[in-house]
Structure 1
Amino acid sequence: MGQDNKAKASNTTAPQSSETNTEAPSAIVRNLGLIKAMAIIMAILIVAALAVIIVTIYSRLTAANSAKTIQQNELVIPADSRITGASLGAKGQMLVIVEDKTGQQLWQLDASGKIQRKTRIAPQR
């Protein structure tokens, strides 16, 4: 009985299977580096897309503020004339009828208020 309590001096080894692990690694393990690289590239693209969206929103907000500025134009007509009619056309153009002693004139103005053409309407004599 004295020897039963003592540790056995014999060499013990872990059981080994008769099969060796010769299986090829799975596709995920083989391409792990490629998967990591693709994940990093996708993260960079997401950050770039967010930056583009933020810049676009900012530029549209600042452009909306600049569009609200008021334009002031001055149209000088001769002293003995008066405007008898005016109408707006497409794209902000304007047609003004100016009347003076000699007859009427049609003034065509562009959207910025500059005179493009003057047409005099005179009675036949």
Structure 2
Amino acid sequence: MPAYESVPYDNLIAGMVQPIVTQSIIIEPATGAVFTRGTVMARTGFATDGTWICTIVDSAAAGAAQKVPVAVLADEIVDASTVQQRATVYTQGEFNREALIFGGTDTIANHEAALNNAKIYTKRVVN
């Protein structure tokens, strides 16, 4: 049996023309902050070691930094509801636009241009 038959389908990754780049981040604790793979993240600051501090992107957020998408969560589930968590994000690549998760009432339409500017390219995927 070929090895590729055992690799599960990934609904998030939509292509391999652009390189996929990952980075470690910190998610600050917040009530209800349980994020799943595909959550679009905004950088809100930097830790003393230079690690990005991130939260979910939301165009209705009070802070300007929370409105700018910079990454897509790679981890399956990150529970930052009570304590700070480290996570892995994609900072570059091609992603299924329908698999991306945004804060508030945001949709891909709110952030697609900004995602593309950040080298996070969105594609329509037909299953």
What TM-score do the two structures reach when normalised by structure 1?
Answer: 0.18
Q: Per residue, is there more strand in 1 or in 2? A: 2
Normalising to structure 2: TM-score of the pair? 0.17
